[in-house]
Structure 1
Amino acid sequence: MATLERVPGFAHQWDALELVRTAVLSVRRRVADRYWAARGRRPVTVDRLSVVFELDGREDARFLRRFLEIEGRMLADLFAELRPEDVFWDIGAAGGFYTVFASAVLDERVSAFEPNPDVRETLHRRVETLGTDPLLFECALSDSTGTAALDNPDRERDNWQGTPSLTTDPGPAAVSVETRTGDELVASGEAPRPTVLKIDVEGAESLAIEGLSDSLAHEDCRLVYCEIHRESELRRSPADYGSSPAAVEDSLSDLGFDIERLEDRGGEYLIKATKR
């Protein structure tokens, strides 16, 4: 029996068969990543919706695979719920996978928000392959308009798959980004009011929701998917912004939503908030 330290304070017992299975699965994944990278594109089908993703090398292929492994359940639930008349906001769009899928259903009624400069080139490139024209906002949605530091001290600068967070204590790799409130964008006419949202902002969930409170309270806004980080020394959570996971859920409940725990991933969990 082998013991492997995976994260600080956590030990996992592995028997010989499990080690072999893990090694085989790792090899199969690497082979698949190389295959799709060589093809330069990968078709993906979710809930009978098929989308072809253009790929820029093996790292891009790996990230798409990891996205489907981690986000597959939420993605399937979301697209079972989407209606042709919906307006979708992808908050924390990263490489644009949700944006691409939503655009295939909703045409141009999609708005994507991504402040990370390391990922925006990939986001723009992926969107350019679509036959639609979603709105792209190079800002972080927060509780106020201005600027903030976006930081992830543990990521390499050229590794755009990192998950940077807004911070008041920036490290040497931090970059300055624009912050906007969702309600301001709606009021100014820069973005249509959302009916369905996906929020994945690496711990700053409370800030994004506070800046969207009027839009979320509107009767047309019917569904919110939100990733909520548990408090951890490894990455930021609502506690770093004066909130808590429970307070994030309470804020959505106060805005008229019923909360359902959709999936638990250990360090974070996903909720589905449905307007009452």
Structure 2
Amino acid sequence: MSGRIDGAIRRAQYSLRYVVFSAYYAAVRRNHRHEWYAPKKRVGSASFRSYELVNKHGDDVLLHRLLHACEPGDVVYDVGANTGVYSLAVAASEPDTRIVAFEPNPDVAAQLRANVDRNGFGDRITVREEGVGAATGTRRFHRSTYDELGSFDARNAGAWEASVRDEIDVHVVALDDVVAGVGADNTGEGEDGELPPPDHIKIDVEGYGLEALRGARETLRSARPTVYFEPHTEGGEDRTADVASLLRSLGYRIRIRPDAWVCTPKTEPGRSSD
């Protein structure tokens, strides 16, 4: 009897969470589209406005580590930018930084642009409506009823109580190609399309992080950026051991906290590390 009662309680909790989250994402979509209300957000000493209704991710460990490490003139690649809290916070905290924000979902990328424009950060933040992966090309992207869970894996897009809303083909770039200026016609970065190599890379891509890192091997070897990585299962499979192995093979030290890896270069690439 108690098992049935516990099951009923869990189902009720899931149903309530689905209603609340669905209502929130629907409200946020409309708010971005019409640009009605952009409440002020505060992250550490940084202050900015966005059309998100709450300060989502403002307390993230990775974000605070990134803000602490950024210096004037640094270049930040925000991979899986979503509506832009990391990019906006960095731009507000260090006006002389340059941020490149990658977001493959066209609807969410439009929300990101609205937030960049609201703060007048267009000279600091470049929005690229692209995914990041192991190779440059095209890939099927699954949009979720919870916008934040959109993923290249349908199982990740349907996590929690969400479901896949639809599927679209999106452009995907390897970060090594971005730094080398390959595919410059798609960048909007001027005639050559080149971007400066990153000092910091934040990666939060709903289970696709290993692929993003595989496409950045040369950049990690040469530029030696700090990597701020949020681990996720990939379609229900835990690939974090593969991620750790790749980073360590490139001479990175990994400091692990719950849902947050800060990865710093400690040796020359090619040398062994613990």
TM over 0.5: yes
> What are the superposed Cα offsets for residues 200-240 of structure 1, whole Å, 9 maximum, x if unpaired?
1110111100111111112x433111111136xxxx35x4x
Alignment partners' CA distance in 1, 2:221 and 2:74: 16
Q: Is the 2:61–2:260 contact (alpha carbons within 8 Å) kept by the matching residues of 1?
A: no
Alignment partners' CA distance in 2, 1:248 and 1:6: 34
Offset of residue 106 of structure 1: 4.4
Verify: 1:40 aligned to 2:21, yes or no: no
Verify: 1:113 aligned to 2:102, yes or no: yes
The aligned residue for residue 75 of structure 1 is 63
Verify: 1:94 aligned to 2:92, yes or no: no
The aligned residue for residue 244 of structure 1 is 239
SS in structure 2 opposite 1:174?
Answer: strand
Q: Which has the higher contact order (CA 8 A, sep 6+)?
A: 2
Give the letter for the 2:195 counterpart. A
Alignment partners' CA distance in 1, 2:210 and 2:265: 18
Offset of residue 101 of structure 1: 1.2
Q: Is the 1:47–1:80 contact (alpha carbons within 8 Å) kept by the matching residues of 2?
A: no
TM-score, with length taken from structure 2: 0.72
The aligned residue for residue 189 of structure 2 is none
The aligned residue for residue 230 of structure 1 is 233
Q: Is the 1:91–1:112 contact (alpha carbons within 8 Å) kept by the matching residues of 2?
A: yes
* Pairing 1:133-148 to 2, within 5 Å after superposition: 133=123, 134-148=125-139
SS in structure 2 opposite 1:79?
Answer: helix
Verify: 1:183 aligned to 2:173, yes or no: no
Residue 271 of structure 1: which of 255, 261, 268 is its match?
261
Q: Is the 2:72–2:97 contact (alpha carbons within 8 Å) kept by the matching residues of 1?
A: no
The aligned residue for residue 188 of structure 2 is none
SS in structure 2 opposite 1:208?
Answer: helix
Give the letter for the 1:166 counterpart. F
> What are the superposed Cα offsets for residues 152-205 of structure 1, whole Å, 9 maximum, x if unpaired?
4xx33xx5x341111499977111101111111111153220010100111011
Offset of residue 46 of structure 1: 2.4
> What are the superposed Cα offsets for residues 20-73 of structure 1, whole Å, 9 maximum, x if unpaired?
xxxxxx9xxx9xx99xx899232233232222x132xxxx30xx33333xx533
The aligned residue for residue 17 of structure 2 is none
Structure 1: where are the runs of 5+ without partners? Answer: 11-25
The aligned residue for residue 165 of structure 1 is 151
Sequence identity (%): 28
Give the letter for the 1:121 counterpart. A
The aligned residue for residue 209 of structure 1 is 213
Offset of residue 120 of structure 1: 1.4
